[in-house]
Structure 1
Amino acid sequence: MKKIKIRGNRPLAGEITISGAKNSAVALIPAAILADSPVILEGVPDIQDVHSLIEILEIMGVKTSFTNHQLTIDPTEIISIPMPTGKINSLRASYYFMGALLGKFGEAVVGLPGGCYLGPRPINLHVKGFEALGAEVTNEHGAMYLRSANEGIQGTNIFLDMVSIGATVNIMLAAVKAKGKTTIENAAREPEIIDVANLLNKMGADIKGAGTDVIRINGVEKLHGTTHSIIPDRIEAGTYIAMAAAVGKGIAVKNVLHEHLESFLAKLTEMGVNMDIGEDSIFVHETKDLRPVNVKTYPYPGFATDLQQPITPLLLKAGGHSEVVDTIYEKRVNHIPELARMGAKASIEGNMMLLNGPATLQGAEVAASDLRAGACLVIAGLMAEGETTVSKVEYILRGYDHIVEKLTALGADIEMVEE
């Protein structure tokens, strides 16, 4: 079992470079199988979710090579095989194979996805979208069976009852080779949606409106290979910017698009964090006196649910009372009792997380309950006096590329140990 050990309360300085976006990569990789020749993805993060998706591709007969953050996907010999169980269950993003296989073959058998448990994350919107396109969808023994009629997938108008990144991407993947025109209304607007649409358009698709709440797709018959560079990971960037504000003596965060982080950066400015924002980098100055703020998560361009946990340790440095409400995943609160073990004045009341600072954190044994909770606890460990041991590290490795090496380069006393 892997654990991360941190001897905290050390000032960090230097620069840190952000990897490609996890939430893009996990959608771009399934999207690539729609091509009839090789797709090259550049800037792919070296994380567990990517390795899991590569294993799934290889089960389907797709040839891959992954070196120096460049992933080549050759789907020319892909076979549509049922995947009701196994690796497909290990990560949530495996559900993108539903849309990709439906678009490619007109059918799919895909096991229901796993990943971090953040409360109910139903796929009923995905199913509604697939059915609107003319597919028959059944849940048999925990696997989704998707079959299109003889005439194949047909373009249509789809209104999403809720804004959903997963459903927006999955419907795009299924509809890109459909006959006729598909319109997705109330679509998610995240930068990762634009990234997926850009890849598909380079492959020969006809998608307009990605990044707005109405996406229009004119179906095409064929898609071809291409080369595409993934956008920087805004969540990783936000995580390290929060860490820099909490324990930094001047840290430059490189390869970051500030336009993707406007609501997050506005909240840090409100707290009193001093930053120099450049075209593709942000320098975070040493910050002493922080003001408490209230945070409420919303779909993009609102404050991202994935940054709610990483900003929490920073809120504990502020003098006074802060409140955090996650409107996306109400069960995303398991980091709060772990922070309390470290001496934080932190509690949960209804759907609110209540934080009082400034807190002096003490090293403790804590456990990550999901990917971003793990990032939160690493930041708390860097702030704390004494030694912190974070277990269930596999969650962190799902989404943070070489986190130990990146923090060590800043001067952190941090190591991964096997127990």
Structure 2
Amino acid sequence: MTAIDASYDLAVIGGGPAGVATVLAARARQPHWRLLWCRGPEPVGRGFLPAYGGNSLVHRLNVPVERMGLDAEAPVDFFDWLRSEHPGREVVPGQFVPRRWFGEYLEARVQASDSATCFGAVRTLRKHDDVWRIDLGDGGAEGHAAAAKTARRVALCLGMPAGLPMAHAPTHWIADPWAWWRALPAQGVPVGDAETVLVVGSGLTAVDMVLGLRERGFRGRIRVVSPGGRWSQAHAPAAPLAPDVREALDDALDEAATARQVLGVLREFAARHPWRAVIDALRADTNARWAGLAPDEQRRVLRHAFGVWNRHRHRMAPDVCAALDADAALSLESGRIGVDGEGRILKRDRFGETVLDVALALDCRGPGFRAALAGDSLLARLVRDGVLEAHPLGTGVRTPADPSLTVIGAARFGERFETSAVPELRQQAVEVVRRWVVSGR
């Protein structure tokens, strides 16, 4: 192994919040470890995902500022950092701050972590004896030309999986809206007010694209189309469930063995109590409830209830919701969007099929969990190489059998249901570092 660098104690692969949380957890608990951080290809690796590296203040987090810290032992760290480093921003608890401020926080925390940083795509990951070899594509360590590294332990923090591309998509179809947004000039957008923009999907990325278009001065028609035809719900104050109600909810869920029964319990309690409090009461137990369902029932949840759950679980700032409702040139429609063999964009709904004449189409259908192991992603390659084992749902992977390899975040979806929000990311990072320390591996 003399041809490549000496081993690091830990290699973290992935440039988003999960990677940052893992670097911070390792540095706090094992300060003597040599850390290697493979942040991914530029410019994404330097920007901590496009959603956190933009130049717009209207693109805001959908979680209050005091809950976004990446240190499991100091979850208000992001709020404290803003108050300390940017007092002029006058941040207060409960505020939904711009995403770019979170990106600044990530960068500040990483600069203080003292880890070697690589930019470039990881091509292969293989274990030789007790050492993992990481082969890199374009990039390498900053200041070095090495294309391979070795480490005793590896944490895969790969972020949200990309969706499948739309076959036969025309040239005005934007498959990656965040990359498109970041490449725009400082002012304006490439469509006129007399033209129509189509936004495919109505999740949080769609919300950001709509707000961004309006901020840039576009006043034309925006048509948002999704199967459910609804935005995410808005945050609102909700007192926690009373202890006796929470106990009754837990007892009812303990008796529910099918997806239909679980949803029936939730609907019953949401009809009699504030629905936000009901959903929030499930947060700590969601993964255990999910694991208790049989695989066929898990598939039913994903097929029939995943969109409804996301709209209620992942809420947006109230004033953002109000701005969307007040936009007279914005329509939210139910339907499914497709592209035919001639590149025409089609909308299918209960009334039939319609060809849409739009100047721009932004694909905001969200992460491709159902396609997570398709294509040539690193996750898919590691499954094909036998390094990782696919979860039966095909939405992610199982926890690796090798204790020196771990997976953190969205790639565990399927094995876990709640796995991509900041509280889960920071807790997973701490748990794995503690396990390594206790086991001595």
| TM-based fold match above 0.5 | no
Larger radius of gyration: 2
Normalized per residue, the structure richer in strand is 1
